[in-house]
Amino acid sequence: MKALVSLRNFFRVAAHACMLPALESGEEILVGGQAVMEGVMMRAPHSYCVAVRQADGGIVTTEMPLARMSELYKIYKLPIFRGIGTLYQAMKLGVKALQFSANVALAEQGEPAPEHDAKETPKWAMTASLLFPLAFFIFMYKFLPLYAVTKLARFYPTLSGRLAFNAADGLIRIAIFLGFLYLISRWGDMRRVWEYHGAEHKVVFNFESGQPVTVENAQRFTTFHPRCGTSFLLVVMVISMVVYVFIPFDGFLARFLSRIALLPLVVGLSYELIRYAAKRRGSVLATLTAPGLWLQRITTKPPDDAQAAVAIRALEGAMALEKSQGGQLVIA
């Protein structure tokens, strides 16, 4: 029985890790967050807090200061580069938050938690945790679609053209993404994650509205947010279809390696589009992010009051730490 529980916990953490890009939102000048196991991580410009609901109803938290990537390295102030830096930091922070929530779950089940908590994650463990979702992303959304279209092109010569090839590659990529979202949404454990994801969005909207952040006020807002990672991933896939048309390679290996090499550029361009759309929601470019908002019908669910309270506790922790450091929360 204990072995089955441990195996279940492993798959829960692995599933969360694979969904990190869809669950998180990262933007240096805005409050954002991420759903974790039975909790929420909220971040301010220079701090973050993770709040996790325990089985007995209590809330356990951890918070730490957080330097902006653009303050650490000037290159990340530049367009395109700021998206790369922000996503890297968001993924790194997301792994830390996930590890903390997983440790809380293990402790409640009577299993020994790892020696290092979210504040002291060893570099090798952090590197491995970051590489796992990256490897999953490359395999699922780079290798598999390219391999499938390469095989199909042997039977359908019309796919040999660069435009047709990349269009088919992009459509298969999106189909795999939608299929994976649907399958993982059928898992009961993930519904709790979607609800905490919805709680995070509602509380962020509540904060951005300028109204007092309360459970009652937060519940009035929608769970669909334009800066959500779900929208970001879909934009990445659409931008990829455009960028890959200009790759002057025909062989499978050359195409695959070029896709990996161009990933930072695609991420940077996608980030700029999402950033623009979040500030100008009535613009033409903002309409390109609409499908991502539709997908949030899968990746977000209405939270109950207790889940909204956890998200608020995480926001309060991040804000308190931000204030103690003399920082200001700026709404774009």
Encode 26-44: b = buried (16+ Cβ within 10 Å), e = exposed.
bbbebbbbbbbbbbbbbbb
Q: What pLDDT does residue 4 have?
A: 40
Q: What pLDDT does residue 23 have?
A: 52
Determine the Cα–Cα distance for residues 117 and 131; give it in Å rounded to an integer: 19
Q: What pLDDT does residue 3 have?
A: 42
Residue at token pair 């189909």 = 175
Sheet holding 39-44, edge to edge: 32-36, 39-44, 47-53, 59-65
Residues in the chain: 332
Q: Strand runs (DSSP E) across 15-130, as ranges?
A: 32-36, 39-44, 47-53, 59-65
Q: What pLDDT does residue 55 have?
A: 87
Each residue's pLDDT, cut to its tens digit, for the chain (332 residues) gives 444 444 455 555 555 555 555 555 544 445 678 899 899 999 888 889 999 999 889 999 999 998 888 888 889 888 889 888 888 888 888 888 888 988 887 776 655 444 444 444 455 555 666 677 788 889 999 999 999 999 999 998 889 888 999 999 999 999 998 898 888 888 777 888 899 999 999 999 999 898 999 999 999 999 987 777 777 888 888 899 999 999 888 889 999 999 999 999 999 998 888 777 766 666 655 666 677 777 888 889 999 999 999 999 999 999 999 888 765 543 33
